[in-house]
Amino acid sequence: MGKEKFKAVEDVKPEVEEVEKAEEVEEQRDVGEEEEQEEADKTFEELGLDSRLIRALTKKGIEKPTPIQQSAIPYILEGKDVVARAKTGSGKTLAYLLPLLQKLFSVSGNKKKLAPSAFILVPSRELSHQVYTEVSSLIELCRVQLKVVQLASTMPASDMRNALAGLPEILVTTPACIPKCFAAGVLEPKAISDSLEILVLDEADLLLSYGYEDNLRSVISIIPRRCLRLLMSATTCSDVEKLKKLILHNPVVLTLQEGNDKEEAVPSNVQQFWISCSAQDKLLHILALLKLEVVQKKILTFVNSIDMGFRLKLFLEKFGIKSAILNGELPQNSRLHILEQFNAGLFDYLIATDDNNQTKEKEESKGEDNKDDKKNKRRGKPKLDAEFGVVRGIDFKKVHTVINYDMPQSVTGYIHRIGRTGRAYSSGSSISLVSPDEMEGFEEIKSFLAGDEDKDTDIITPFSSLTKNAVESLRYRAEDVAKSVTRIAIRESRAQDLRNEIINSEKLKAHFEANPKDLDLLKHDKPLSKTAPAPHLKDIPEYLVDPKTQEASKMVKLARAAMGGSRRSGGGGGRTNKKRSRKGGDPLKTFNPNGSNKRGRGGGGVGQKKDGKGSNDGSTQHKKQKTV
């Protein structure tokens, strides 16, 4: 891993000439590099954090600040507006949460406020829930009297009013929720102007692309001048520049760099591969990747449409590969539970629909709702959640491989997909299945990642562990099974899965609130097909796999064993095995004083009890010994 660098640049005034701008930027970049060298070994104490926060971090197992935290925290504590751009998994969330909480330690209780002191605006509900959970954890560990609430734009006004009744200090939500709070009278613009101290825009490069510009403008118009404004992003784009000019005042711009002053959009600890294949052969290639075990689990697969996600799930089921689906059609409670189960390691394969590519579907569904409400009601077409977002910001735990089954429609989309692995500087890999129709966009991604200087170098290399012979050996099986996954089967499975998740989310909500442990009984990777997979499709005969692929599979399995990942690959077999081992290993149940006689009869231990004759002899003999 290369040496991390930050360049800290104060926005210069537009009246300054271009030559003076260049000189000032260059001068401040040198200062940033010197400060980075001095701060390389700084601790949280040296950054000026409160002892309560340091104690909370220690309990969470966090000992040292990341580079973005080392650079951002001092500026935020000084009260300066900050724009921080750093790759995913670099610790941006704590970079703003820690100084935010420290400022609220001193602000809380000083005067009675009628609105929250801090707003954290994020692009999706999933990210909102993640940030809310992190803030709640820190507050609990710090043992301070601060309150945080999470609001959603779909909540009834009564629920919003109840959530804000206790006058929370921190509000975590999406920009679309704020105007709805104004309309319902839950929040008053004047109260926000009097109370707001800190505004955070997390994943800022996504906020405008999600259509939140009008919502943000309604919020910006009432933000007081004294308010501290923070903008966090994983990429630099026109939307970020637009937000920076719209919201911030002379901010400090922090950009994470690695190596020789070269910014890396994708972490260097993530290996990037690609496979060239036709659109029809993508099912064949992903089957070979998963079934021949040449990629490391856990695996997150991205598709561009909900139907394709169900097609892939049904196809893999035929070969005994269980997977779960995540998309904006599912209820919020189900989506959060799917993420929790995947992060907990209850299943290894998750198929996620890229929210960027759902935007068109969302707009189309909105248009249809406005034009033909009656027709849509007849169809019963489910609405997509406009605030769904899983590609960016969500902290997936221990994802070793990201597979782009469908290529993303932009460079930014690719960067954020790949950012789901290799988080917190752990290793990871990505594999993109590229069809001829997607080659133009793929070339744009490659040229962007290579940069101007290294266009000849291959940042994304061909995946050599999967040979052509190994893929072709599975062609007949794959094509035969693919024919059975029809549009009707996909439509029925999609409706069935939605019904199941709605039942899980709504009908059992009260039960799960009273019995949270029962959530473990819900499985999101259950088969959707009505017929069980054929036995001959579950296992691939060794004679079909060429030696090179076998060797690659062995290396993956050895690496998994070294990482301690030799748990079950799916299903519910793990629990039954544990029960059997406990029963078989109980010395009070396995001890037998006459074990030699039973073994001599060819039985053996506990298994001999199944033979009625042997068990009767043993019990009679035991009674005789008692009588004596």
Pairing of strands 324-326, 228-233: unpaired
CB atoms within 10 A of CB 418: 27
Please state at what angle helix 51-59 crosses helix 125-142, rounded to 10 degrees.
Answer: 110
pLDDT of the residue at 384 = 58
Which residues have a Cβ under 8 Å from the Cβ of 599 and sit 6 or more positions away? Answer: 605
SS3 165: coil
Q: What does CATH list as the number for 270-359+380-568?
A: 3.40.50.300
Q: How long is the chain?
A: 628
Tell which residue, 120, 135, 172, 115, has the closest CA to residue 60. 135
The number of angstroms, rounded, from the C-alpha of 202 to the middle of its chain's C-alpha atoms is: 15
Q: How many CA atoms lie within 13 A of 293 on its CB side?
A: 17
CA dihedral of residues 102, 103, 108, 110 (deg, nearest 10):
130
SS3 518: helix
Lookup: tokens for 105: 């330690």
pLDDT of the residue at 612 = 43
pLDDT in tens, 463-489: 988 888 889 989 998 999 999 888 888
Spatial distance between the Cα atoms of 614 and 604, rounded to a whole number of angstroms: 11
pLDDT of the residue at 301 = 94
Domain edges within the chain? 42-257, 270-359+380-568
Residue 521 is given by DSSP the state: G
SS3 42: coil
pLDDT of the residue at 611 = 45
Classify residue 381 as left (phi > 0), alpha (psi -120 to 50) or beta: beta
Same fold, 42-257 and 270-359+380-568: yes
Lookup: tokens for 537: 């499709």
* 462-496: burial string, b at 16+ Cβ within 10 Å, e else: ebebbbeebbebbeebbeebbeebeeebbebbbee
Residues in the chain with pLDDT values less than 70: 1-41, 108-111, 236, 257-265, 355-395, 424-425, 452-457, 502-533, 535-538, 542-544, 560, 563-628
pLDDT in tens, 44-54: 999 999 999 99
**Superfamily of structural domain 42-257:** P-loop containing nucleotide triphosphate hydrolases (3.40.50.300)
CB atoms within 10 A of CB 460: 21
Q: Which residues pair with 4 in a beta bridge?
A: 258
Q: At residue 208, what is the residue type?
A: L
Please state at what angle helix 92-107 crosses helix 51-59, rounded to 10 degrees.
Answer: 140
Q: In what order do the strands lie in the sheet with 270-276?
A: 324-326, 349-353, 299-303, 401-404, 428-434, 270-276, 461-462
Asked if residues 79 and 102 have their Cβ atoms less than 8 Å apart, the reply is no
The vertex-348 CA angle with 347 and 350, nearest 5°, equals 90
Residue 506 is given by DSSP the state: I
CB atoms within 10 A of CB 40: 11
Asked if residues 244 and 81 have their Cβ atoms less than 8 Å apart, the reply is no
Rounded to two decimals, the pTM is 0.62
Lookup: tokens for 198: 């800190």
CB atoms within 10 A of CB 236: 16
Gyration radius from the chain CA atoms: 28
pLDDT of the residue at 15 = 38
Specify burial of residue 595 (Cβ count, 10 A radius: 0-12, 13-18, 19+).
middle
Q: Which residues pair with 611 in a beta bridge?
A: none
pLDDT of the residue at 8 = 54
Query: What does each C-alpha distance from 212 to 121, 122, 183, 329, 387 come to in angstroms?
Result: 10, 10, 17, 20, 10
